[in-house]
A and B are shown apart, each in its own frame.
Chain A
Amino acid sequence: MRYATTVIRLAAGLTALLGAALISAATQPTAEEIVTRSLETLYYAGEDQRARISMRLVNPQGKERRREMTLLRKNLGSSGKQRYYIYFHAPADIKRTAFMVWKYPAREDDRWIFIPAIKLVRRIAADDKRSSFVGSDFTYEDVSGRDVGDETHRLMGEENLDDRPVYRIESLPKTKRDYSRRLSWIDRKRNLPLKEEYFDARGELMRTFNADEVREVDGHWTATRRSMRDGRSGHRTEVVYEEVGYDVGLTEGLFSERYLRRPQRQWIR
């Protein structure tokens, strides 16, 4: 059994190598390749990641709500599988609430929530890609990533955005989503999306994403300040990655019911 797995992995590795060779042979990467690299940079950088995140939810009247959380992520090898863990520090009413996601590349994720008031771990229905993440303008999908194959991509051109050379890509979802067209401006060197615009079926601008600050952390380009603005309601969410670390040594065992109930203090500070 172990032998068979190794062979398959080896084969996958070879294909990836061949793919890389083909890419370098071509002068211009395809839209799929650009999007794949940007998804990898945004959602898969390093073996693992720990971040202390502060979210500001601002309504059109300027009234603010805040979310303070720790995000832990681990990639399970190169399988595309990932584990996510999100622990809430504030506000006081939801302190100690924790989410856990086992993410799979080609099927629905497994998700759990721990509700501290009644000491309950509950599995939650995962078909919520379009749902808002804790009331913010980001969806669950924005937080934990989408698959390159969920959309068809077209390279619209190359230009400069705030003095950075970028690819402009148009992506159309293959199945029904909350948006029907997405434009992204992807940094040519750093592979990060610097801006995204989501449009509805009538071509109206629904949401705008901006990477407001990009820094290199542990060798990985990271959007340390990002924002999402709802074009129709004027509601916006600003996110600051206050502490970010890659390859910090998270183990797979951390992403289990045990630590959902009692997070390991070492990681949740």
Chain B
Amino acid sequence: MSRHRLLGLLAGLLWETATAQAPEIHGFLQAHAAARLGGVECAPETAFDLPFNEQRLQLKLEGSGLEGSLDYTAKLDLLHDATLNDTDLDLRELYADYNTERFTMRAGRQVVTWGVADLLFINDTFPKDWVSFFGGLPLEYLKRGSDALRLDLYPDFADVQILLADFRKDRLPDSDRFVLPGPDISAVLDEPSELEAGLRVSRYFGSWDGVLYLSRTHYRAPALSQITGQWRGEFPRLNAYGSSLSGPLWNGVLSLEAGYYDSVEDRDGTDPAVENSQTRLLVGYSRQIAEDTTLGIQGYAEWMHDHDAYRRTLPVGFSERDELRTVATLRFTQFHLHQTLHLGLFAFWDTSDNDGYIIPSVRYAFSDALWGEVGANLFVGDRNGQFGALRDNDNIYATLRYAF
């Protein structure tokens, strides 16, 4: 089933329900801008001083029909991007739910979030928007919706989720807004047309939440290769198998997550363009350390399989990645003034590459409807690392949102 047919089906469903009952309309007006810190040489097409300067109106429409067994949601952003001098309609979500006692079916563009890790992703293989994230937009813009058909079943022993989705790629930093190392490659991207599938099974074990995840998907960043002088990008197949467990420990929350990435198209690790198979592990712990103050820490490890094969086939001039990549994160959150003032700090530190990413933020709610946030995205350390590579993109940002 193509994504157009899936959306067509949904549009029909929505029309049926929209005529049933008056929907509720909410949304927000939001202005967001980010200014680059420091000066570097950059390509003429790159927005240098203000890589982000956008205003958007989000309209959220929610309603129901068929005596409550059908719900629908539409979230549409009307976006004015002053940086790229562009106006766009961004369909964030558009789905209908059919609810019964034993199952729920959700069809359409929807956000799916899996896993227990905080800003590190193991079993959440769903599309992300890293451009928005590195530019300081609110967290919800990190997640891109999937065009999917999702069935949630509720047998006694567990909750079971089955997902069929069209492929959607990650939105990755490009030279429109980012100063990136290496030559600017323009490649023809070949997106997979087959449906992806996911299975999630979860249940409580006393106070613990246990979850199993299976995904038959694709990498969402392109694997680039040069064929007769022309760069091409493909999205290699990926199977991910994993599990997570979270529960109470010493008045805090312990989170464990593990995943095995089976890189189907490079199982022996000899194709330098395609990621090798990996094992990913995460341990996280968060607890309240004082009134209205929470601290969260995570340790993450990514073990590359077939590292010898990777080294043998790595083209000359490319910096070598370690067999074991380890990342530590810290999240600090504090509320003041009856929770109208939020102080936040999130920091990644990659102990293998010696680079990091620090996001301090301050948010103030002027009223129930209006909040503003200022913050920064700071990349530090070795330029060969994933975060260090973005070192010329340090920015401070400001967001103002009026919700209605």
Contact = CB atoms under 8 A, between A and B. Distances in A.
Indicate whether A and B interact: yes
B111 A118 contact: yes
Contacts of B251: 108, 125-127
Interface stretch (A21-29, A87-95, A213-221): A87-95
Contacts of B288: 125, 127-128, 131
Contacts of B246: 123
A92 B113 contact: no
A118 B99 CA distance: 21
A15 to B, nearest CB: 26
B335 interface: yes
Interface in B93-151: 97, 99, 104, 110-113, 116, 138-140, 142-143
A130 B290 CA distance: 9
A95 B26 contact: yes
A93 B209 CA distance: 28
Interface string B185-228: 00000000000000000101001010000000000000000000
A202 interface: no
B231 interface: no
Contacts of B292: 131-132
B97 A93 contact: no
B252 A102 contact: no
Given A127-B288, A132-B292, A118 B340 contact: no
Interface string B313-327: 000000000000000
B351 interface: no
Given A123-B247, A125-B286, A93 B368 contact: yes
B294 interface: yes
A125 B111 contact: no
Interface in A111-164: 117-120, 122-128, 130-132, 134-137
Interface string A41-57: 00000000000000001
Given A65-B368, A125-B294, 7 more contacts: A66-B368, A92-B28, A118-B113, A123-B116, A125-B251, A125-B288, A135-B338
Contact of B97 (A92, A128, A262, A266): A262
B335 A132 contact: yes
Interface residues of A, number: 39
Contact of B159 (A128, A132, A257): A257
A117 B139 contact: yes
B26 A118 contact: no
A235 B340 CA distance: 13
A134 B232 CA distance: 51
A125 B255 CA distance: 11
B180 to A, nearest CB: 27
A54 to B, nearest CB: 13
Given A91-B368, A93-B368, A257-B159, A119 B111 contact: yes
A92 B403 contact: yes
Interface residues of B, number: 51
Contacts of A258: 152, 154, 159
Contacts of B247: 110, 123
A59 interface: yes
Contact of A92 (B111, B255, B404): B404
Contact of B338 (A57, A117, A120, A130): A57
B339 interface: yes
Contacts of B294: 125
Nearest to A122: B116
B140 A117 contact: yes
A126 B340 CA distance: 21
B403 A265 contact: no
A257 B340 CA distance: 28
A2 interface: no
Contacts of A102: 207
Contacts of B202: 257
B88 interface: no
A19 B251 CA distance: 33
A141 B215 CA distance: 41
Contacts of B335: 132, 135
B50 to A, nearest CB: 26
A180 to B, nearest CB: 15
Q: Which among A127, A132, A235, A262 has the highest number of chain B CB atoms within 10 Å? A: A127
B369 interface: yes
Closest 8 A/B residue pairs (Cβ): A135-B339, A127-B251, A91-B368, A117-B140, A93-B403, A135-B338, A125-B287, A120-B113
A174 interface: no
A136 B292 CA distance: 12
Nearest to B68: A265
Given A117-B139, A126-B248, A131-B291, A92 B338 contact: no
Contact of B64 (A93, A110, A265): A265
B26 A134 contact: no
